Chains A and B, each alone.
Chain A
Amino acid sequence: MTREKTDFWVGLFILLGLIALVFLALRAGNMSSFTFTPTYRVQAHFDNVGGLKVRAPIKSSGVVVGRVAAIGFDNQRFQATVMLDLEQSYVFPKDTSASILTSGLLGEQYIGLTPGGDEQNLADGDTIEFTQSAVVLEDLISKFLYSSAEKEGTGPGAGAAAPAASH
């Protein structure tokens, strides 16, 4: 085989590898969801972030408007501090409220923004005052169990030991 032919096939081989990588990154991966649009950063304090992760989406009315930049713990407030990178093209009033929501029953968590009615808009470095923590499934279950146990306690036949099953 001549040299040029070898070079041609090797070049084709490498090109195929690059195409495969681009395919994996764009078609199979989330490269296309990376945004390079300029963002501004605001922070919010939550009592409980639940399973929120860095790079989780921030949605308003279901539209992705930014991503979570960092999650930390504030030693002064004893609360979680979440940094939010919002895209510059979206503006929100100063009294916007942020809540941690779950997509679907078992899906991943994201931050939902509900705009308020303030005249001024959030700017870089601002803090979102109104927040609502993540709903923790265990809390829900224990609340439900307590309330059903209370109901049973006030019902007739309460306190009567269940007859032991004979073996």
Chain B
Amino acid sequence: MNALSQRIAALGHGFVSMITGLGAFARLFGAILARSGVVLRRPRLTAQQVHFIGNYSLLIIGVSGLFVGFVLGLQGYYTLNRYGSEEALGLLVALSLTRELGPVVTALLFAGRAGTSLTAEIGLMKAGEQISAMEVMAVDPIRRVLAPRFWGGVIAMPVLAAVFSMVGVLGGWFVGVMLIGIDPGAFWSQMQDGVDVIDDVLNGVIKSLVFGVVVTLIALYQGWTARATPEGVSRATTRTVVSGALAVLGLDFLLTALMFAH
């Protein structure tokens, strides 16, 4: 009986701490937004973060996009070939990239490449008591450290997703037109016929923007709440990737249902 009541108590505790975590997460989001004036007043701080988060992620995003485009081209060709409609390959590659794969895969890579480094950086700042030192010097760490990183991530993410989609389309074009020999005119015209600027491209950009906000915020939150020990920082980094990836995939389902449900 005692063991059972302990279990129930543990379940309740887990649930309550989950809600508390969500509340703290939302409060941090609000605090960052309230202090976002720094982005306009000192744009160089944000530019540095865009450089750190965005430029350094370009290589992995570009290479991944290229290979995803290659694979889409090959797999799509094998399937479409059965129905004798391999000209639709361009449409298939472009639609899957702009609607889903571009924003989602970029967000997953972004969580692994940039999110982890943000978490580790802030976690180590905390462990090294730099955050406390800033507070002592009356420098607001949320304004000085978190806000520029947040906006850096939010700006970098849509750019990276757009680059991913573009490189992927070019990869699909390379495999389909250059290697397999699909007619290039049909490849591009079918693509232009089926991809809508607002329905597909713009919704993809909105998706990547939402993912940018969520992944960056999760990374910052995990770093901000990490225990100030080496173990705490390593756990926080792991949690960034796990909850970032889950949040992206879950939100993707929601956004897809909202955007393309007509």
Contact = CB atoms under 8 A, between A and B. Distances in A.
Contacts of B166: 19-20, 23-24
Contacts of B90: 28
Contact of B50 (A13, A23, A25, A29): A13
B188 A27 contact: yes
Nearest to A1: B51
A40 B48 CA distance: 51
B47 A10 contact: yes
Interface stretch (B34-42, B123-131, B189-197, B236-244): B189-197
Interface in B214-261: none
Interface residues of B, number: 32
B190 to A, nearest CB: 11
A20 B166 CA distance: 6
Interface in B192-216: 192-193, 195-197, 200-201, 204-205
A32 interface: yes
Nearest to B193: A30
B159 A28 contact: no
Contacts of A28: 90, 94, 98, 165, 169, 191-192, 195, 201
A27 B192 CA distance: 7
Given A28-B169, A28-B201, A30-B196, A16 B163 contact: yes
A29 B159 contact: no
A21 B197 contact: no
A33 interface: yes
B110 to A, nearest CB: 14
Interface in A18-62: 19-21, 23-25, 27-34
A92 B4 CA distance: 82
A23 B50 CA distance: 22
Name, among A7, A24, A33, the residue most crowded by chain B CB atoms within 10 Å (CB to CB).
Answer: A24
A24 B169 CA distance: 9
Given A13-B54, A13-B159, A16-B159, A25 B48 contact: no
Which of the four size classes fits the interface of chain A? 20 to 34
Interface in B177-194: 188, 191-193
A77 interface: no
A33 B197 CA distance: 10
Contacts of B51: 6, 9-10, 13
Contact of B159 (A7, A14, A33): A14
B47 A25 contact: no
A112 B88 CA distance: 24
B66 interface: no
Question: Top 3 closest A-B pairs, CB basis?
Answer: A17-B159, A20-B162, A20-B166
Given A17-B162, A28-B191, A28-B201, 4 more contacts: A9-B51, A24-B166, A27-B188, A34-B197
25 contacts: A3-B44, A9-B51, A10-B50, A10-B55, A12-B55, A13-B54, A13-B156, A16-B163, A17-B159, A20-B159, A20-B162, A24-B94, A24-B98, A24-B195, A27-B169, A27-B192, A28-B94, A28-B98, A28-B169, A28-B191, A29-B192, A30-B192, A30-B193, A31-B197, A32-B192
Interface of A: 3, 6-7, 9-10, 12-14, 16-17, 19-21, 23-25, 27-34
